Amino acid sequence: MQPKTYQTRIYYEDTDCGGIVYHANYLKYCERARSEWFFAQGILPQQNNIGFVVKNMNLDFLSPAKLGDLLTIHTEILEQKNASITLKQTILRESLSKQTQTKKPIFVAIITLVCFESTAQKITKIPQWTKDIFNTPHQNQIN
């Protein structure tokens, strides 16, 4: 499957009283991008009683997004272990100018997910079929 780009636009519902994106919404955008990436790879929620849950997040807010901005979320795999995967997600703001088409990084998240077995309610090893998907060339990022 080809890598995909996840984009979202900023609407009134995304902003705070100051007219900029409320800080927690950046996490929603990253979650949507991760979910779409997993769905595109055939990794469906609770398939074979496993899923991925967030263990750790390191967030860096670089610049605010505002009403009307078009954002692109770029996701890449940084590290895989037996039961976890660490991703880097960068949110880029596209220039609204028709003269120049630029994308500026405004948010970076380093997120560690663990594989979770839902029936036993415990962390488990990532199944081989899932590792194979993660290791397939051009499947480790959405650009």
- Give the pair of three-digit tokens for residue 103: 């994308």
Q: Distance between CA 17 and CA 104 in Å, rounded?
A: 24
* Catalytic residue list: 16
What is the enclosing helix (H) or strand (E) of 104? strand 103-117
- 3-state secondary structure at position 143: coil
Q: What angle do CA 21, 93, 25 make, to 5 degrees?
A: 30
